[in-house]
Amino acid sequence: MGDLYSWIKALHVISVIAWMAGMFYLPRLYIYHVAAPVGSPQSETFKVMERRLLRAIINPAMFATFIFGIWMLVLLGPSVWSEGWWHVKLTMVILMGAYHMFLSRWRRDFEADRNQRSAKFYRFANEVPTVLMIVIVIMVIVKPF
């Protein structure tokens, strides 16, 4: 099991890195998109960039993150499931998934030229995955409880 688990863990970490990279970048695109006039070539370019980032990188990376994470849990067995750090991590991962869904919804708003949010809103929203990631990493590495 050791060798298989190591490969799955490596693939999980790679998937998480790709997912997080996209989750950090997409709100930055939204910040710039807010400044682009509706219907302008710049706005249309942002729409393409946002759609491709979400569909080609963020969505598949999230899917792979969940698949490899669940696979590791199966291999580790139920002993991990009762540990406190695991419950905090799982909660943060669920919140990350919810944030992902908000990013998707906001992209659809931009796509339909109906965004009502400001650049300031997206700057604040851009901090959410950072906070969640910090808590997740501390739970997994330090396992404080």
Pick out the residues of the known binding site for heme.
Answer: 12, 89
Please give the annotated binding residues, written as ranges: 12, 89
Say how far apart CA 126 and CA 130 lie, in whole Å.
8
What are the b/e assignments for 17-49, b being 16+ CB within 10 Å?
ebbbebbebbbebbbebbebeeeeeebeebbee
